[in-house]
Amino acid sequence: MATVQCCKCKQEQEAISGPTYGGAVGVEIKRRVCNDCWQSWLNGFGVKVINEMQLNMRNPEHVAMLIQQMRMFLTMPPEEG
**Which residues contribute to the site for Zn ion (CB under 5 A)?**
6, 8-9, 34, 37
Q: Which is nearer to Zn ion, 39 or 62 (CB)?
A: 39
Output 8 or 55, the one with its CB closest to Zn ion: 8
Residue 1 DSSP symbol? -
Nearer to Zn ion, 34 or 55 (CB): 34
* 3-state SS, residue 64: helix
Distance CA 24, CA 26 (A): 5
Residue 6 CB, nearest approach to Zn ion (Å): 3
Q: How is residue 20 annotated by DSSP? A: -
> Which residue in 38, 25, 37, 5 sits closest to 68, CA to CA?
25
Smallest distance, Å, CB 66 to Zn ion?
Answer: 19
Please report how close the Cβ of residue 73 comes to Zn ion at its closest, in angstroms: 11
